[in-house]
Protein backbone atom coordinates (compact mmCIF):
# COMPACT_ATOMS: atom_id res chain seq x y z
CA UNK A 1 0.00 0.00 0.00
CA UNK A 2 1.46 3.33 -1.04
CA UNK A 3 1.22 6.16 1.45
CA UNK A 4 0.85 9.83 0.48
CA UNK A 5 0.99 12.82 2.80
CA UNK A 6 -0.75 15.99 1.61
CA UNK A 7 -0.72 19.58 2.89
CA UNK A 8 -3.51 20.49 5.29
CA UNK A 9 -5.48 22.53 2.75
CA UNK A 10 -5.58 19.65 0.28
CA UNK A 11 -6.62 17.20 3.01
CA UNK A 12 -9.50 19.53 3.83
CA UNK A 13 -10.44 19.82 0.18
CA UNK A 14 -10.53 16.05 -0.24
CA UNK A 15 -12.10 15.43 3.19
CA UNK A 16 -9.09 13.35 4.24
CA UNK A 17 -8.16 13.10 7.90
CA UNK A 18 -4.71 11.61 7.64
CA UNK A 19 -2.44 9.93 5.11
CA UNK A 20 -3.86 8.75 1.82
CA UNK A 21 -3.28 5.15 0.86
CA UNK A 22 -3.21 4.09 -2.77
CA UNK A 23 -2.71 1.03 -4.86
CA UNK A 24 -0.95 1.61 -8.15
CA UNK A 25 -0.82 -1.03 -10.86
CA UNK A 26 2.44 -1.31 -12.75
CA UNK A 27 5.52 0.85 -12.27
CA UNK A 28 5.29 3.41 -9.50
CA UNK A 29 6.45 6.82 -10.65
CA UNK A 30 5.56 10.36 -9.66
CA UNK A 31 3.16 10.43 -12.59
CA UNK A 32 1.42 7.13 -11.90
CA UNK A 33 1.12 7.99 -8.22
CA UNK A 34 -0.47 11.37 -8.93
CA UNK A 35 -2.72 9.85 -11.63
CA UNK A 36 -4.04 7.40 -9.05
CA UNK A 37 -4.35 10.09 -6.39
CA UNK A 38 -6.36 12.37 -8.68
CA UNK A 39 -8.50 9.45 -9.82
CA UNK A 40 -9.43 8.64 -6.26
CA UNK A 41 -9.82 12.28 -5.26
CA UNK A 42 -10.89 14.19 -8.37
CA UNK A 43 -11.29 17.40 -6.39
CA UNK A 44 -7.49 17.55 -6.24
CA UNK A 45 -7.08 17.83 -10.00
CA UNK A 46 -5.31 21.03 -10.85
CA UNK A 47 -4.18 21.67 -7.29
CA UNK A 48 -0.89 19.72 -7.39
CA UNK A 49 -0.22 19.64 -11.13
CA UNK A 50 -1.42 21.97 -13.85
CA UNK A 51 -4.43 20.64 -15.75
CA UNK A 52 -3.03 20.64 -19.26
CA UNK A 53 0.73 20.43 -18.87
CA UNK A 54 0.75 18.26 -15.72
CA UNK A 55 3.66 20.38 -14.50
CA UNK A 56 4.08 20.57 -10.74
CA UNK A 57 2.59 23.78 -9.37
CA UNK A 58 5.51 26.10 -8.63
CA UNK A 59 5.02 26.43 -4.86
CA UNK A 60 4.71 22.70 -4.22
CA UNK A 61 7.50 20.17 -3.75
CA UNK A 62 7.74 16.39 -3.71
CA UNK A 63 9.80 14.48 -1.17
CA UNK A 64 10.36 10.82 -0.30
CA UNK A 65 12.96 9.06 1.83
CA UNK A 66 14.44 12.46 2.74
CA UNK A 67 15.16 13.14 -0.93
CA UNK A 68 13.83 16.12 -2.86
CA UNK A 69 12.11 14.70 -5.94
CA UNK A 70 10.58 17.97 -7.07
CA UNK A 71 12.78 18.29 -10.11
CA UNK A 72 12.84 14.65 -11.11
CA UNK A 73 11.16 13.52 -14.29
CA UNK A 74 7.53 12.49 -13.69
CA UNK A 75 8.48 9.09 -15.07
CA UNK A 76 11.26 8.51 -12.54
CA UNK A 77 10.60 5.29 -10.57
CA UNK A 78 9.94 6.01 -6.90
CA UNK A 79 12.13 4.40 -4.22
CA UNK A 80 11.38 0.86 -3.11
CA UNK A 81 10.55 2.15 0.39
CA UNK A 82 7.67 4.14 -1.11
CA UNK A 83 6.53 1.20 -3.20
CA UNK A 84 6.43 -1.03 -0.12
CA UNK A 85 4.71 1.61 2.01
CA UNK A 86 7.59 1.85 4.46
CA UNK A 87 8.03 5.52 3.63
CA UNK A 88 5.36 8.01 2.45
CA UNK A 89 5.46 10.22 -0.62
CA UNK A 90 5.19 13.80 0.59
CA UNK A 91 3.54 16.70 -1.22
CA UNK A 92 4.74 19.79 0.61
CA UNK A 93 3.89 23.44 0.27
CA UNK A 94 7.06 25.50 -0.01
CA UNK A 95 7.70 28.66 2.06
CA UNK A 96 6.40 27.13 5.26
CA UNK A 97 7.63 29.79 7.67
CA UNK A 98 6.54 33.37 8.22
Partner 1 sequence: MSQVRVLVGTKKGAFILTSDGQRKKWNVDGPHFAGWEIYHIKGSPIDPKRIYVSQSSGWFGQIIQRSDDGGKTWHQPGTPAGSPTTTADGTPLAESNKFVYDTSDKTGKPLTTHQWYDGTQHPWEFKRIWHLEPSLTDPDLVYAGAEDAAMFVSKDGGKNWKELAGLRGHNSGKQWMPGAGGMGLHTILIDPKNPNRMFVAISAAGAFRTEDAGKTWKPINRGLKSQFMPDPEAEVGHCVHRIAFHPSKPDVLYMQKHWDIMRSDNSGDSWHKISGNLPTDFGFPIEVHAHNPKTVYVVPIKSDSEHFPLEGKLRVYRSKTGGNEWEALTKGLPQKDCYVNILRDASSIDTLDDCGIYFGTTGGQVYVSANSGDSWETIVHDLPAVLSVETQVFK
Please state the closest distance from residue 51 (CB atom) to partner 1, in A.
5
Strands 2-5 and 89-93: parallel
Among 5, 14, 24, 65, binds partner 1 (CB under 8 A): 14
Give the CA distances from residue 86 to residues 2, 25, 79, in Å, rounded to whole numbers and listed in that order.
Answer: 8, 18, 10
Stretch that binds partner 1, among 6-14, 21-29, 65-73, 78-86 (CB under 8 A): 6-14
For 32, other C-beta atoms within 10 Å of its C-beta total 19
Residues that bind partner 1 (CB under 8 A): 7-10, 12-15, 39-43, 45-48, 50-52, 57, 59-60, 93-94
Amino acid sequence: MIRVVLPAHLRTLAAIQDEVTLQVKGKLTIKTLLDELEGKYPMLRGTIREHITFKRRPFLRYFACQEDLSHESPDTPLPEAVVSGKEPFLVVGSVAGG
